[in-house]
Structure 1
Amino acid sequence: MTDRDIYLPVAAQPSVSTLVGLSQLAEVEGYERVWLPETWGRDAVTTLTSIASGTDRVGVGTSLLNVYSRSPALIGQTAATLQEASDGRLRVGVGPSGPRVIEGWHGASFERPLRRTRETIDIVKRVLSGDSVEYDGDVFELSGYRLRSEPPDPAPPIDAGGLGPKAVELAGRFADGWHALLCTAEGMEDRLADFDRGAELGDRDRAGQRVTFSVPCCALEDRERARDLSRQHLAFYVGGMGTYYRDALARQGYEETATEVFEQWNGGDRETAIAAVGDDLLDALAVAGTPEECRDRIGRFEGIDGVDALNVSFPRGAERADIEATMDTLAP
């Protein structure tokens, strides 16, 4: 059975207490886990600590911590602390993000993202074991680092994000799970084959790994508002977040549309970029419309063989009332 999770709003909310409140609502409504991105809003660690303190049962997770702005040892130390603070409810997601974020926002060089992600996962797992870390990699060399607190028992699982075939294969080979987004149902099936191949290469127990699929959702009585918000959200990611999402969409058979959205957005014509996300593409990537429509359409994504959790996410422009209405409609 596929779990339903919540991907907390990527856009900055009025306060930390807003995010805690949404997490409490998710707990009451039976969602399995709340995931928090770390982009230009509040940092994930402080916020998840508050969420863990304000909830009792719902799982918490990072989706994703990038592997450039924190060292692997610090990510391991942070994971151990958050696992303690949440009474064992943590799942950690890491990934390289993209040049727009890493170079533009963090001032770091976006070099060797796949290798850096792999080595980060290796080191974080060693830190969480409680043993002294001796590591001689291509990107990182560590010697003598060890937790001075008791290692978490159990250690939190470490997932990886990625959209390209090699990145997804890496997640299957080295991580405990994979986080996917901006995939059509057909595109998701292709990437799941990459993940399964990675699990086989890494001699991993595929049944013990977890695939979490984030799908933009907006279920409102005002159908056009729900669809307009979702269309704007998709255009922003394809057009405004560098080439990462554009290329992912092109790989799934939408190269012409992805190119048009990207060029119009970056040329300053946001309205034309948004309009280029037609109804067929909108419905291929998102669940948007009336509550009745959304309850019916979410099954198309949830029923994909190999997906363990469907992550209900929200358009960037959604207001608190839109988010809560969508959570209510799609509550498990």
Structure 2
Amino acid sequence: MTARDIYLPVAAQPSVSTLVGLSQLAEVEGYERVWLPETWGRDAVTTLTSIAHGTTDVGIGTSLLNVYSRSPSLIGQTAATLQEVSDGRLRVGLGPSGPRVIEGWHGESFERPLRRTRETIDIVKQVLSGDSVEYDGDLFELSGFRLRSDPPEPAPPIDAGGLGPKAVELAGRFADGWHALLFTVDGMADRLDDFDRGVDLGDRDRASQRVTFSVPCCVLDDRERARDLTRQHLAFYVGGMGTYYRDALARQGYEETATEVFEQWTGGDRGRAIAAIDDDLLDALAVAGTPEECRDRLARFAGIDGVDAVNVSFPRAAERSDIEATVAALAP
């Protein structure tokens, strides 16, 4: 059975306690895990620590920590500590992010993102084993680091994010799972083929890996508000988050629309960018509308063969009441 998770809001929230409260709501409503992105604003580690202390059963996870702003050894230490404070409820999601974030915000060179992701996963797993880290890679040469605390038991799984074929193949080959975002049903099937190819190349056990598919959702009695909020959210990702989401949408057969949204958004005409997301594309990428129609629509994404968990995410402009209504309407 496909699990149902919550992707905590990427947009700024009034306080850490707001995010703890949403996690508590997810726990009460029966969601399996809450995932927290780390972009700007509050860091994921401190916030997830508060969530761990404020909940008892719901899993926690990072989706995603970038692999440039922290060293691999520090990510390993962080994962071990979060696993301890959450009593074994952690799952770690890692990814390269993009040059706009890494170079513009962190001042690091965005070089060899796939190789850096792969080596980071390798090193984090060594750290979590409790053994002395001895690593001779293309980007990292490490020797002698070892946890001074007991290693976590069990060690938290390490997932990888990715949109393109090679990134998804890497997740299947080296990680314990893959985090997907902004795919149609057909587009997701294509990338799952890449993931499975990686599984074969790495001689991995697919049954032990977890594919988590984040789907933008807004479920309200006010149908038009739900759809308007979600349409704006999709336009922001395609037009305002660099070229990765634009290119991912183009690969799925929407090159003309992806280009239009990107050009209008970056050119300053956000109204035209939003309008370029028509109803068919909105419904192909997201779940937006009334509770009656949306439960069936989410089931369509959850029913994709190879998807292990559907992650309910929210429009960036959604208010607290919109988020709570969506959580309740789509609760497992």
Normalising to structure 1: TM-score of the pair?
Answer: 1.00
SS in 2 for 1:51: helix
Counterpart for residue 65 of structure 1: 65
CA displacement at 1:104 relative to structure 2: 1.1
1:175 corresponds to which letter in structure 2? A
* 1:192-245 C-alpha deviation (Å, 9 max, x unpaired): 000000000000000110000000000000000000000000000000011010
For structure 2, list consecutive stretches of 5 or more residues without a partner in the other structure: none
- CA distance in 2 between counterparts of 1:225 and 1:110 reads 38
User: Within 2, Cα distance between the matches of 1:191 and 1:25?
Assistant: 32
Superimposed CA distance per residue, residues 305-328 of structure 1 (whole angstroms, 9 cap, x where no aligned partner): 000000000000000000000000
> Within 2, Cα distance between the matches of 1:172 and 1:59?
22
AA aligned to 1:141 is E
- Report if the CA contact (8 A) 1:23-1:34 is conserved: yes
Within 5 Å, give how 1:170-249 maps onto structure 2. 170-249=170-249
Q: How many residues align?
A: 332
Contact 1:73 1:127 in 2 (8 A): yes
How many Å separate the matches in 1 of 2:296 and 2:160?
29
Q: Secondary structure at the match of 1:204?
A: coil
CA distance in 1, matches of 2:233, 2:125: 35
| C-alpha contact 1:123 1:135 (8 A) present in aligned 2 | yes
Runs of 4+ that moved beyond 4 A = none
Distance 2:179 2:101 in 1: 18
Distance (Å, rounded) in 2 between the aligned partners of 1:98 and 1:37: 14
What is the CA–CA distance in structure 2 between the aligned matches of 1:250 and 1:202, rounded to whole Å? 29
1:161-176 pair list within 5 angstroms: 161-176=161-176
The alignment's C-alpha RMSD in Å is 0.4
Query: What SS is found at the alignment partner of 2:100?
Result: helix
Aligned-partner Cα distance in 2 for 1:104–1:278: 32
Tell me the residue number matched to 2:155.
155
1:113-142 per-position Cα deviation (integer Å, ceiling 9, x unaligned): 000000000000000000000111001110
1:261-318, CA deviations, whole angstroms, 9 ceiling, x for partnerless residues?
0000000000000000000100000000011111111111000000000000000000
Partner of 1:31: 31
Contact 1:240 1:262 in 2 (8 A): yes
Q: Residue 295 of structure 2 aligns with which residue?
A: 295
Q: Is the 8 A contact 1:10 1:41 kept in 2?
A: no
Q: Following TM superposition, by how much is the alpha carbon of 1:12 offset from its aligned partner in structure 2, in angstroms?
A: 1.0
Q: Distance in 1 between matches of 2:97 and 2:282?
A: 24
Q: In structure 2, what is the Cα distance between the partners aligned to 1:103 and 1:222?
A: 40
Deviations 1:130-188 (A, max 9, x none): 00001110011101000000000000000000000000000000000000000000000
Instruction: Percent identity, please.
Output: 88
Contact 1:9 1:316 in 2 (8 A): yes
Separation (CA, whole Å) in 1 of partners of 2:121 and 2:317: 33
Q: Is the 8 A contact 1:233 1:317 kept in 2?
A: yes
Once the two structures are superposed, residues 11-52 of structure 1 have per-residue CA deviations (whole angstroms, 9 ceiling, x without a partner) of: 010000000000000000000000000001310000000000
Write the distance in 2 (CA, Å) between the matches of 1:92 and 1:233: 25
Give the alignment of 1:1-332 within 5 angstroms.
Answer: 1-332=1-332
Letter in 1 for 2:190: D
Amino acid at match of 1:243: T
- Inter-partner Cα distance in structure 2 for 1:90 and 1:270: 38
Specify the SS of the correspondent of 2:211.
strand
Q: TM-score, normalised by structure 2?
A: 1.00
Contact 1:173/1:201, CA 8 A, preserved across alignment: yes
Q: Distance in 1 between matches of 2:93 and 2:329?
A: 27
Q: Is the 8 A contact 1:215 1:312 kept in 2?
A: yes
Superimposed CA distance per residue, residues 54-78 of structure 1 (whole angstroms, 9 cap, x where no aligned partner): 0000000000000000000000000
Counterpart amino acid of 1:48? L
Q: Which amino acid aligns with 1:290?
A: T
Equivalents in 2 of 1:251, 1:197: separation in Å? 18
Partners of 1:78 and 1:310 in 2: CA distance: 26
Specify the code of the residue in structure 1 equivalent to 2:199.
Answer: A
**8 Å Cα contact 1:24/1:54 also seen in 2:** yes
Q: Are the aligned partners of 1:5 and 1:34 in contact in 2 as well (CA < 8 Å)?
A: yes
